[in-house]
Amino acid sequence: MHLEGLKIAVIGAGIGGLAAARALALRGAEVTVLEQADKIREVGAGLQISPNGAAVLRGLGMAPEKIGMASEAVHLLDRSGRSAIRMELQGPGTEASGAETPAAGAQGGYYLCHRADLIAALAHGARSAGARIRLLQRVERVQTGPEPEIRIANHARMRPDLVVGADGLHSCLRRAILGEADPAFTGQVAWRAVVPAAPEDPAGAEARVYMGPKRHLVTYPLRGGAYRNIVAVEERRDWAPDSWSHEDDPENLRAAFRGFCPEVQSMLGRVRRVHLWGLHRHEVAKNWTQGASALLGDAAHPTLPFLAQGANLALEDAWVLAEELSSAVEAGQGAEAGLGRYQQMRRPRATRAIEAANRNAWKYHLSFPPLRFAAHSALRLAGRFTPGMMLNQFDWLYGLDVTGGRRLSEPLPCPQSQGDLCP
């Protein structure tokens, strides 16, 4: 309880903010989460928790198997539905650099979750640890420095000991530390939707990736197979906003993937509501901290979705931030020393993960037929003779357990979200 008496304001009640709130509160801090919405809600969408993220949830006393369903495999197919490679999700190896920790795969696991369920569980966990969540608190400005001040739209002011900016891409704390940024449109857009399951859907708890020229579609089951998540990416020149809240006509999604196999057509035919967002490349923040303020998750390192690591990296950030703050305060070094070590530990790893995600997109979008045939043939050979090779290349990512096997709490019952998965 080394953070006892420290007043911390967390801006944003997303995955990273709520995880940080629980991690900090469990170490004794007085935590207040500021959320601008009138209630904690999530756009209907799924996410994948890999072993590095699952390890953090377990460390926080939260059982990922109660939040999502265990994933068995990642299955790459061409647009006709022909299998290229199916990768069984076994435990990854040990992190190659630094102190060795047990592989996260055996204890961490891979899970397919609905965002609303994970958010509900984290909010319950934050409150159970003593954190307060205040809604309708739109932060307009953060004054950084050794004595930070938060200005809220209702003219209220807060002067906590420390501020954590977990308010995403458009973070007001990120602007205060870094100034305005000019993200680059990647020439790719993504649709997200959740649809009711149907008997003709693929069986099994696996993530399927259907690959086609200049586009790919990812789908996997949610809520024990009652629903299916869809993420569809297309290369195009038409710009789209860098926001998850922008709705699109489902017919545009269906038209983009008209040449794909019947099982894809069946899923797309059930889409009634879909969100579209433009994929933009943002720089990893050079400075994550300033005075007694720190960035976390997408506010520090926005990532493209091609390794499914946005939520997992935010969970890691939350743990490391709380751990380094606690260690610094215990050693009498002060909170700012802990924030400095947090950035030092997290920035290289986040940068490496984001660079890997940036490189991953083109592999699914090969347009030149001979090259596409050769690549898919190589995948089939790899699946036959060295099926673990593709996953093993990411052992450095999935195999790191930032908790070192520590547990801050006994397992906490996780409530199911009451949100509508298919609005």
Residues with catalytic function: 220
Q: How far apart are CA 384 and CA 386, in angstroms?
A: 6
Helix/strand/coil percent split, the chain, to 5: 35, 25, 40
- Secondary structure (DSSP) of 129-194: TT-EEE-S--EEEEE-BSS-EEEETTS-EE--SEEEE---TT-HHHHHHH----PEEEEEEEEEEE
Beta strands in 263-407 (DSSP E): 274-281, 289-290, 293-295
Contact 220, 231 (CB under 8 A): no
Give the list of residues 6+ apart from residue 359 with CB closer than 8 angstroms, or none: none
Tell me, what amino acid is at 300? A
**Neighbour count for residue 367 (Cβ, 10 Å):** 12
Tell me, what amino acid is at 2? H
Contacts of range 234-239, beta carbons closer than 8 Å, 24 or more positions apart: 234/188, 234/189, 234/190, 235/187, 235/188, 235/365, 236/187, 236/188, 236/189, 237/187, 238/189, 239/185, 239/278
Burial class (CB in 10 A: 0-12, 13-18, 19+), 166: buried
For residue 381, which phi and psi values (nearest 5 degrees)? -65, -40
Q: What are the C-alpha distances in Å from 134 to residues 35, 40, 137?
A: 6, 10, 7
**And the tokens for 224?**
């024990």
**And the tokens for 48?**
């994948």
**Neighbour count for residue 385 (Cβ, 10 Å):** 8
- Secondary structure (DSSP) of 377-419: HHHHHHHHH-TTHHHHTTHHHHT--TTTT--SSS-B--PPP-S
265: left (phi > 0), else alpha (psi -120 to 50), else beta?
alpha
Tell me, what amino acid is at 413? P
Rounded to 5 degrees, what angle do the CA atoms 104, 385, 233 make? Answer: 65
